[in-house]
Amino acid sequence: MAGGRAHGHAAGLPAVGEPSALGPEPSIVGREAEVRRLARVTGLGADVPSGDALLGADAPHGGVRLAADEVGGGVLLVIGEPGVGKSTLLEDAARRAAHAGHRVLRATGRESERDLAFAGLHQLLRPVLDEADELPERQRLALLGAFGFAEASGEPLLTGLAVLTLLSRLADRTPVVLVVDDAQWIDAASAGVLSFVAWRLDDDPVALLVAVRNGEPLPGFDDAFPAIRLEPLDDAFPAITLTPLDDAASRRLLDLRAPELPAGIRDRVLAEAAGNPLALLELAKAAHSRGLEPHDHGPLPVGERLAAGYAAQVAELPEVCRRTLLLLAAADVADPPDAVLALLPDPDDKTWLTLEQASLVGRAGRQVRFRHPLVRSAVYQSAPFDARAQAHRALADVLGDEPDRRAWHLAAATPYPDAEVSAALERTADRARRRGGYAAAAQALARAAELSPVPGDGTRLLVDAAGLAVLTGRLAWVEELAERIRARTDDPNALAAATLRVGRLTALTRRHNAVFAELIGIAGDPAATHPATALDALAAAAVLRFYSGEASHRQEIDRILPRLPDDPMRDWVRMVADPFGGGRGLVPRLPSMIAAARNHPERLTALAVAAWILDEIALAVRTFDEAVRSWRTRGPIPDGLAGVAALAYFEYGRWAQAREVCADIGALAAGKLDHAAACVLATDAMVLAAQGDTVEARALAERALRLVDPLESRSVAVHARRATAAAAAAEGDYESAYEQYRTLFDRGGDPVHYHASYPALPELAAAAARTGRHAEAAEIVERSARALAEGGSARLHALVERSRALLAAPERAERAFLAALEEPALEQRPFEHAQTRLEYAEWLRRRRRIAESRPHLAAAHDVFARLDARPWAERARAELRAAGTDVAVPDPHGLAELSPQQRQIVRLAARGLTNREIGERLFLSPRTVGSHLYRVFPKLGVTTRAQLRDVVDAGGVPRE
């Protein structure tokens, strides 16, 4: 079992401390506002005394009452330095919630468990795992598999859905409070599931309280909790940042807990503690126990010196006490299994009394915990290595039924290479990988590499570790592993593999040109690297060619490609890097290549991208559908190419789905993979601009441009500027629109990006026609037509004809319009096809061919209404009225007011799916689905689920 066994309370000394010889009862001083904030999140009223009131632990609810109209829910971070009182606030909130009848589940991060996949999650859910029997079968198996109780599914998001459903079921009976202390040490797999759940707590009375040390990284949490970086991000969860107590609160705390301190010592304690509650109490305790006088000189222990003080205290204990403490510190569990308890003194042994009287540990039943992490750290670090190794070997000997823990204990006891321990860690990594614990697997492989006695095996393990680390999205970690590979080998294939792994993640940042050069260096020397590695490197380089749009990149790829062996990957490179040249002739091979890639989401995604680039939109969307389904069940695999799925769905008329993909990828990329985040921001902006949400579209486009260098990420820059231009056009500002569209082509009229610029030609032409810039725009259109004459797709030829029609003299315009409309490829993109029909109908009506215009206007209007393209729908309605046809404002049921997620819920509910089935499809809790439906029914004017079918059939929400 990889998870932890402990269900224990937070191990931290408080802003106020726990009972000790210095004071009778714990009290919270100077944190009244924070207590009220936590009370609101946990569903308790906020009637908390303020001012000088002290909240005693024995007061009913501590003065906090359960409000009749408040059930709680949401996420709150408690951030601060060690000893500032995070654990005490969480403990206080948990106690109040439990007193009010809420279900409280707790977990505490531990350094020794941060590499054990799902250890923290198991610790949190262990008291309620019996409830898993009531989950849907796939969810039940995913959850139990994550903990090693069933065959691992390897589907982290399904595990997250299982946790969400489990918590929702618990919350049906009573509000639930999740308390996660020392979250900086929670393993990444657990953190990933908790972050998944955190974003979906809107409608469930489930509160998640997370305490984290200021400045500590939270792998797996950092996407969900950007506030940890202490940056003012709009989408961050609420946070409390605990600052040191002010002078008045510090003095009140000492009055309560150390009233006997002499005035001179008291002032020194106040000065040296600097408002840190732990330091206040411990310094006061040390001064009291040592009988310090005001005239005594020398600093009081604080910070590292405080840890040294603990070590000195431990050194004075009997040998049996020191051995017991070291075993506990090495085991680092608050609820030891029977095997570990067998190594410790009997419960009634006087050793425990000695340790408790020394205020080093506390016991409650089977729970044994250190009073503060500094105690554990001091015990462990002050012991000589031989003693620590002996403790770890003893623990490994009794943990035979927990192979992952046993492997790590053996590793901690092994200072030199050891083949058996290395192999045990490799097996641990394999188990973690199969459960989706990529970070834990990478950590285990990296340590296995250190302990491998065979240099070649160690290098292989590090390369594998770097490959798994890529899946976490943590670029700095991948770079660190690559440096370790370079330091231990000169094997060119291993070095190339290391560079390639770094390059795959760096490609999703803004350093495209530098990474391209490195990848080309690998691919260009196949004699020094394995041919497969060279092909992988060239494929990654082709991705960068697409991102950057740099012409010289294609020349480099063309130079190297003939040297590499014939392979489907080589064909893919040509499709992506040169879609209007050699890549165009490979279109007939795409279906067979896709068929051969079934059940491989990464390859399917890549081939879907190729299909999209080659304008085979229907094939691209079908392939993306299959890839995204697999991708979602595989967990958060950072893949910038998956962002193209959003563009494909947008072009194919599935705008809600496009926005959902943007949201999914944006959550994975935020804060660390700037290019990937910018891709989806720009795409989302294009959708919003088309729907008339011009303010938000412009804001997203500006954010996208701030994240990248436009010269190294031309694809992002083009899409962002298209969105900005479309927003301006929607507002009637065609001058600004033309200026933005014009930036998509250079001074000579060539496209800024070899693929992304061309689809904007009709938009450029339309803005030019309204601003009198016919000649300049016509030159750009004709220059593009010449460039696309040989290798351009049928869709691009149709867009060129549409552009010509918008700029042409009357006698030539109709022929160009008809040429565009007769192209079947344009019909597969409903928005572009509807735009062309509207523009042709406008041309017809202005020539008084009103009867001919009406069918085109009506068809275009229906598409715009279905897509919720409000500016275009209004324009079509105005034309219909001018043509003598009165059209009622569409969407009488309020579908335009629904979010993309709500529309998806409506569509699935109309098909007869239950709330639980919808939740499983969309990774939401059944309660959240029900809450959305409850809110949308009045907007849609319906009272039963059966009526939703009529809403969908009316054209507001496409069924598929």
Tens of pLDDT, residue by residue over 323-334, are 999 998 888 665
Say how far apart CA 60 and CA 56 lie, in whole Å.
9
Q: Residue 379 has what pLDDT?
A: 86
Residue labelled with tokens 């000589």: 384
Nearest residue to 372 (alpha-carbon basis) of 85, 62, 76:
85
Task: Classify residue 203: in a domain, yes or no.
Answer: yes
Nearest residue to 254 (alpha-carbon basis) of 271, 231, 230:
271
Nearest residue to 431 (alpha-carbon basis) of 422, 441, 419:
441
The pLDDT > 70 percentage for the chain reads 82
| 345, 575, 585, 621, 645 from 578: Cα distances, Å | 72, 6, 11, 21, 20
The pLDDT > 90 percentage for the chain reads 35
Q: What is the pLDDT of residues 209-234, one digit of tens each?
A: 999 887 665 554 544 333 333 333 33
Nearest residue to 329 (alpha-carbon basis) of 110, 635, 149:
110
Pairing of strands 361-364, 367-370: antiparallel
Task: Classify residue 229: in a domain, yes or no.
Answer: yes
CATH of the domain at 171: 3.40.50.300
Judge contact between 891 and 918, C-beta under 8 A: no
| 655, 695, 956 from 730: Cα distances, Å | 18, 11, 22
Here the tokens at position 929 are: 């689905």
Say how far apart CA 480 and CA 442 lie, in whole Å.
12
C-alpha gyration radius of the chain: 32
Q: Residue 252 has what pLDDT?
A: 86
812 and 906 inside one domain = no
- What is the domain count for the chain? 7
Boundary-marking domain end, from 202, 217, 241: 241
Here the tokens at position 901 are: 């997620």
Q: What is the mean pLDDT of residues 911-939?
A: 79
Please enumerate in sequence order all residues whose Cβ is within 8 A of that of 585, keeping only pairs 6 or more positions apart, or say none. Answer: none
Judge contact between 502 and 542, C-beta under 8 A: no
> Cβ of 633: how many Cβ atoms within 10 Å?
18
Residue labelled with tokens 């308390």: 179
Strand, helix or coil for residue 126: helix
Say how far apart CA 515 and CA 509 lie, in whole Å.
10
Q: What is the pLDDT of residues 11-70, one digit of tens each?
A: 233 333 333 333 333 457 888 888 888 888 887 654 443 333 332 222 222 333 333 334
Three-class secondary structure assignment of 371-382: CCHHHHHHHHHH
Greatest mean pLDDT among 291-305, 641-655, 716-730 lies in 716-730
Three-class secondary structure assignment of 834-872: HHHHHHHHHHHHHCCCHHHHHHHHHHHHHHHHHHCCHHH
Task: Classify residue 527: in a domain, yes or no.
Answer: no
Greatest mean pLDDT among 168-182, 196-210, 260-274 lies in 168-182
Out of 531-545, 883-897, 929-943, pick the least confident: 883-897
73 and 147 inside one domain = yes
Q: What is the mean pLDDT of residues 693-704?
A: 94
Please enumerate in sequence order all residues whose Cβ is within 8 A of that of 117, keeping only pairs 6 or more positions apart, or say none. Answer: 2, 3, 146, 187, 188, 189, 190, 431, 432, 435, 436, 437, 439, 440, 441
CATH of the domain at 910: 1.10.10.10
Say how far apart CA 232 and CA 765 lie, in whole Å.
41
Q: Is the pTM of this model over 0.75?
A: no
Strand, helix or coil for residue 181: strand
Here the tokens at position 860 are: 């275009």
Task: Classify residue 765: in a domain, yes or no.
Answer: yes
Question: Crossing angle for the helix pair 915-922 and 926-940, nearest 10 degrees?
Answer: 110
Boundary-marking domain end, from 731, 760, 794: 731
Task: Classify residue 673: in a domain, yes or no.
Answer: yes
CATH of the domain at 699: 1.25.40
Say how far apart CA 535 and CA 523 lie, in whole Å.
6
Say how far apart CA 905 and CA 660 lie, in whole Å.
12
Strand partners, 213: 80
pLDDT bracket for residue 154 (50, 70, 90): low
> Cβ of 771: how many Cβ atoms within 10 Å?
15
> Cβ of 466: how many Cβ atoms within 10 Å?
28
Task: Classify residue 65: in a domain, yes or no.
Answer: yes
Predicted confidence (pLDDT) at residue 93 exceeds the cutoff of 70 = yes
Strand, helix or coil for residue 918: helix
Q: What is the mean pLDDT of residues 104-133?
A: 88
349 and 387 inside one domain = yes
Domain of 291 in residue numbering reads as: 247-302
Say how far apart CA 764 and CA 737 lie, in whole Å.
8
Q: Residues 134, 172, 63, 18: what is their CA dihedral angle, to the nearest 10 degrees?
A: 20
DSSP 8-state secondary structure symbol assigned to residue 490: -
Task: Classify residue 850: in a domain, yes or no.
Answer: yes
Total residues belonging to the chain: 960
**Mean pLDDT score across all residues of the chain:** 81
Say how far apart CA 570 and CA 580 lie, in whole Å.
16
722 and 811 inside one domain = no
182 and 71 inside one domain = yes
Q: What is the mean pLDDT of residues 566-570?
A: 85
pLDDT bracket for residue 668 (50, 70, 90): low
297 and 407 inside one domain = no
Please state the separation of Cα 700 from the chain's center in Å. 18
Please state the separation of Cα 799 from the chain's center in Å. 37
Q: What is the mean pLDDT of residues 112-122?
A: 86
Predicted confidence (pLDDT) at residue 749 exceeds the cutoff of 80 = yes
Three-class secondary structure assignment of 504-549: HHHCCCCCHHHHHHHHHHHHCCCCCCCHHHHHHHHHHHHHHHHHHC
Residue labelled with tokens 């040191």: 244
235 and 251 inside one domain = no
691 and 789 inside one domain = no
Judge contact between 891 and 952, C-beta under 8 A: no
752 and 866 inside one domain = no
For residue 313, give the amino acid letter. Q
Here the tokens at position 305 are: 């010196």
Greatest mean pLDDT among 150-164, 303-317, 581-595 lies in 581-595
764 and 824 inside one domain = yes
Judge contact between 353 and 320, C-beta under 8 A: no
Q: What is the pLDDT of residues 805-817, one digit of tens each?
A: 999 988 899 999 9
For residue 408, give the amino acid letter. W
Here the tokens at position 665 are: 């990828």
For residue 671, give the amino acid letter. G
Here the tokens at position 615 are: 């304008």
Q: What is the mean pLDDT of residues 391-399?
A: 91
Q: Residue 795 has what pLDDT?
A: 95
Handedness of CA 828, 831, 834, 839 (dihedral sign): negative
Please enumerate in sequence order all residues whose Cβ is within 8 A of that of 10, keeping only pairs 6 or more positions apart, or say none. Answer: 86, 87, 88, 90, 91, 106, 108, 179, 181, 182, 211
- Residue 527 phi/psi, 5-degree rounding, is -70, -30
Instruction: Give me the DSSP letters along 650-688.
Output: HHTT-HHHHHHHHHHHHHHHTTT-HHHHHHHHHHHHHHH
Q: What is the mean pLDDT of residues 729-745?
A: 95
Q: Residue 332 has what pLDDT?
A: 67
Predicted confidence (pLDDT) at residue 492 exceeds the cutoff of 90 = no
Q: What is the pLDDT of residues 281-293, one digit of tens each?
A: 877 776 666 554 4
297 and 316 inside one domain = no
Say how far apart CA 172 and CA 103 lie, in whole Å.
11
Q: Residue 670 has what pLDDT?
A: 63
Here the tokens at position 27 are: 């009290």
Predicted confidence (pLDDT) at residue 834 exceeds the cutoff of 60 = yes
Upper half-sphere CA count for residue 319 (Cβ side, 13 Å)? 1
Alpha helices in 363-454 (DSSP H): 373-382, 385-398, 403-412, 419-434, 438-451
Task: Classify residue 779: in a domain, yes or no.
Answer: yes
pLDDT bracket for residue 350 (50, 70, 90): very high
762 and 799 inside one domain = yes
